[in-house]
């Protein structure tokens, strides 16, 4: 008997046009009607999922890749990054003229246009496009948004005297080895060719799931998770059944227990039906 299902947002619940299919909305309602708890599990900060939570009538979520966990509107776990890690990341980003943003639970501050993400700018551009833009085009836009202000200095007020749970670093793939070697206290997850999420070492969405299931006394074998990106790998490996979207990253599909179709093809509903969670 499955008791809890975790859903990534981008590329899993949301289509390429940044919309939730009606079939996914109905599937989540059906889960609730059957006593199964739906939970959002995302790399986004809490304030960037408000509209989705309202649209789906969900009050439980794991955000910033497991760093901030809420059950029924109550914070049950939070894990801010150390000030030392943040300061060293900031210095490295300044040396290499890379944009960096600092995500708290209520706002993102930094020297890159990623901070405009809290205003939904990129989402509105994609939704108004006459066709769904390819992932590489979206990545290029994100790169522009991240790099546009990289010469602006990072102000201490961006990260001092407030808990920072995740940094967003705008660095190309050629810097991956450098950052992993120089920052063994951090966990890096690339989400496009130009941008990386940075959180505390040994943390991920899987840690958030463990905290939530422990809080409720639910076995991990009684859980399911849907995801498509690199930051979903640990999550899919931790739950009872890990489901990858066929439109997701190859690495995610390779480790998944089950693969469903894309969000555009009703992947959430069909996946739950094929697993016999829903009729």
DSSP state of 26: H
Nearest to 222 by CA among 36, 7, 28, 8: 36
Enumerate the H helices of 96-201 as residue ranges: 121-128, 135-147, 176-182
- The dihedral over CA atoms of 159, 164, 166, 170, expressed in degrees to the nearest 10, equals 0
The region, left, alpha or beta by phi > 0 then psi within -120 to 50, assigned to residue 266 is left
Tokens 């489901």 -> residue: 243
Identify whether the C-beta of residue 33 lies closer than 8 Å to the C-beta of residue 201: no
Euclidean distance between CA atoms 260 and 269, whole angstroms = 9
Identify whether the C-beta of residue 103 lies closer than 8 Å to the C-beta of residue 164: yes
Identify whether the C-beta of residue 1 lies closer than 8 Å to the C-beta of residue 36: no
Which residues, listed in sequence order, are joined to residue 38 by a DSSP beta bridge? 5
H/E stretch holding 141: helix 135-147
Euclidean distance between CA atoms 267 and 274, whole angstroms = 10
The catalytic residues are 8
């Amino acid at each position: 008997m499955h008791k809890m299902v975790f859903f990534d947002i981008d590329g899993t619940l949301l289509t390429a046009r940044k919309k939730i299919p009606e079939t996914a909305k109905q599937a989540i309602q059906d889960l609730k009607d059957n006593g199964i708890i739906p939970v959002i599990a995302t790399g986004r900060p809490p304030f960037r999922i408000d509209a989705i939570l309202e649209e789906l009538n969900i009050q439980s979520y794991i955000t910033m890749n497991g760093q901030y966990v809420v059950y029924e509107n109550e914070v049950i776990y939070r894990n801010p990054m150390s000030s030392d890690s943040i300061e060293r990341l900031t210095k490295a980003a300044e040396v290499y003229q890379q944009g960096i943003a600092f995500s708290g639970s209520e706002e993102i501050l930094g020297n890159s246009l990623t901070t405009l993400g809290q205003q939904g700018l990129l989402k509105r551009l994609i939704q108004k496009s006459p066709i769904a833009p390819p992932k590489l085009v979206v990545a290029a836009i994100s790169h522009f948004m991240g790099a546009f202000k990289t010469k602006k200095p990072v102000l201490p007020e961006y990260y001092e005297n407030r808990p920072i749970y995740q940094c967003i670093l705008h660095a190309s793939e050629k810097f991956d080895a450098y950052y992993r070697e120089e920052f063994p206290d951090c966990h890096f997850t690339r989400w496009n060719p130009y941008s990386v999420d940075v959180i505390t070492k040994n943390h991920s969405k899987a840690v958030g799931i463990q905290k939530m299931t422990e809080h409720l006394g639910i076995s991990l074998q009684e859980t399911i998770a849907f995801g498509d990106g690199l930051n979903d790998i640990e999550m899919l490996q931790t739950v009872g059944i890990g489901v990858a979207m066929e439109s997701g990253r190859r690495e995610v599909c390779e480790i998944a227990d089950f693969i469903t179709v894309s969000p555009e093809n009703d992947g959430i509903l069909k996946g739950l039906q094929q697993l016999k969670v829903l009729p």
